[in-house]
Chain A
Amino acid sequence: MRILLDKFSKSFGSTKVIEDMDLEVGSGEMLALLGPSGCGKSTTLFAVCGIHRPTSGRIMFGDRDVTHLPSQERNVGVVFQSYALYPHMTVEENIGFPLMVKRVASADIRKQVADIAALVHIEDLLGRRPAQLSGGQQQRVALARALIRRPDVLLLDEPLANLDAKLRLEMRSEIRRLQKETGITAILVTHDQVEAMSMCDRIAIMKSGEIIQIATPSQMYNDPRTSFVASFLGNPPISFLKGQAHQGAFVLGGSGLRLPLATLAGIPDGTALSLGVRPEHFGTAGGVPVEGKVVFAETQGRENLYDVVLPDGSVLRSIQPVRDDVKPGDSVRWNLDSASTFVFAEDGQRL
């Protein structure tokens, strides 16, 4: 089912959290709301499930206006960050609770619980209580409880934040599998770019109550609209060089580094610019040599990560296949792939 937020605003008292937000999630799509904490992504999610009332604007599920419906009547499934399982009930009672509230016959509930439990692979845990489950198992129970009502919309509020690294990887693909199998429209709230990129069809990146950009993960990675988006996606993160425009080229003050860039045609000389260079575009291929000194090296097994200080003091990161010949303190002259860099104006807008 399609979800539409139309000029949605939410304020708490006099604090405006979100103003005039427009967002559309296609039917069967999984969308990530990505942003730093306090950007309003959870507020948006709670407005969609009906826990927060919007201050103004409309929320539509399909053709149905649900803006003023209480959450009981919205038919949404929510997985909370803390899972919010009911500690005094068994797993079976937990999953069956939404049906019990609807006064479904208990034989029916049993059957449906068994079905959904099989879907999330927790058939043999039905008699336990939440306290007797591991984090990943609790997560699966929470998913099953959210899915059992066959909701129109599945909302996930930082569902992986409380899991350890290995489980997180496992549940990431597990949640995506369930979403695809059930064909449900889903919104994932997260501050982790890896989760957003790996699990979702599209990402809406948010900053202080505004959506900065909505795009598919690869579009957003390769074509960020602002320096904020560029810095939020990618691990290790992008590095920025501060410089100026000069005759259609980016000039880094002090070091004499000069990068001719097609995007800079027509930009007046002396305009302050910021150049974003992803670590994979420095030190591997490319035509512009850059001199600097390695100050930090870290091996990640398959790849090495280097921090290189340029003569003017700015730092470029480089990630390359493992090599032993470079140590911290060494002077290097590595190539920079100028075609893959991003140029941003002083206000962070991409040029």
Chain B
Amino acid sequence: MAEKPQISSNTTSANFSSLPVILLLGLFSLPLLVMYAYLFIDTISDTEAGSLIPNEFTLRHWSFLWETKAGKPNIWLVTLNTFIFASCITGVILTVSSMAGYVLSRLNVPARGFFLAGVMVLHAFPSVTLIIAIFIVLQWIGLYNSLIGVILVKAAVELPLGIWLMKGFYDTVPWEIEMAGTVDGASRFTVWRRLVLPQIKPAVMALGLFSFLTGWSEFIMPQVLAPGAKVQVLSVYLAGLIIDDNNFDFGTFKAVGVFYVVPVLILYVFFQKHLMNIYGGGTKG
């Protein structure tokens, strides 16, 4: 069969040269590239004041990896905390929103419209304004300065978005699949677990990744609700470095920054396809 010429975003169309575009984009991206390059170069070198060219190689700035600084928590404990924090948020968000989304999309719940509107309002609500109230509540129930407390709060704040997204994806799954499942003898839970949930797997992946990244980069809540040395996360640790006027060390600050961003980059490399799903909307069968 003869292929018809078609316009596709994947192939270079022949009617204009892409070279000028690449040159232009390269030019505009150059400042960004320089910034990233220096972010890294500065962590492994020393530069004299006022100069741009580094004059000596050093691993001094990375020493936080093998020696704990005075008055600072151990970096590996902090990393572990961040990991636990982000993973638990992901777990809670995925579990709750995949179930709640299904219920809102498919089951006959009383006051569904009100509930959906409420979830939307919660999503639009700036959570920072609640932080003092949450602080008091956590202190009352004894979860202040604990990972559990801040995990619950952060997951709750992120849930409305997750529920809405999941509901939207469930809405695209054809009803017939569910009808077929029930007449095949499956309970409603089995239908959800074995038939419907697999249809929206890409969305679940995307939401999971999204939640993990949100958790990984969250700063204000751990800073206010769990600042203690044992429960610190990387963002709080990083902030602690720069507000410490006595041992001001810009190189270390940058090194921790690089250390902080590397897992995110790795995740992006492996999962960016899934992450795009959440913005593309809809599953690909």
**Chain A residues proximal to chain B, CB less than 8 Å:** 46, 49-51, 70-72, 74, 76-78, 80-88, 97-98, 101-102, 131, 145, 149
Contacts and interface: CB of A to CB of B under 8 A. Distances in A.
A268 B176 CA distance: 54
B183 A77 contact: yes
Contact of B183 (A51, A102, A131): A51
A71 B176 contact: no
A153 B179 CA distance: 16
Contacts of A71: 182-183
Interface of B: 174, 176-177, 179-187, 190, 194-195, 198-199, 201, 285
Given A71-B182, A72-B186, A97-B184, A84 B177 contact: yes
B199 A87 contact: yes
Of listed A84, A88, A98, residue having the most chain B CB within 10 A = A84
A102 B185 contact: yes
Contact of A88 (B176, B185, B199): B199
Nearest to A77: B183
Given A72-B187, A84-B180, 10 more contacts: A51-B182, A71-B183, A78-B179, A86-B195, A86-B198, A88-B198, A88-B201, A101-B184, A101-B185, A102-B185
B147 to A, nearest CB: 36
3 residue pairs, one from A and one from B, having the closest CB atoms: A84-B176, A84-B180, A98-B184
B183 A101 contact: no
A70 B182 contact: yes
Contact of A101 (B179, B186, B198, B285): B186
Given A84-B174, A87-B285, A131-B285, A101 B190 contact: yes
Of listed A50, A77, A86, residue having the most chain B CB within 10 A = A86
A84 B173 CA distance: 11
9 contacts: A51-B183, A72-B182, A72-B183, A74-B183, A78-B179, A85-B180, A86-B181, A88-B199, A98-B184
B183 A50 contact: yes
A131 B199 CA distance: 13
Contacts of A81: 176
A163 B181 CA distance: 23
A84 B179 contact: yes
Contacts of A82: 174, 176
Contacts of B182: 50-51, 70-72
Of listed B174, B182, B185, B187, residue having the most chain A CB within 10 A = B185
A149 B184 contact: yes
A76 B185 CA distance: 9
Contacts of A149: 184-185
A77 B184 CA distance: 7
Contacts of B201: 88
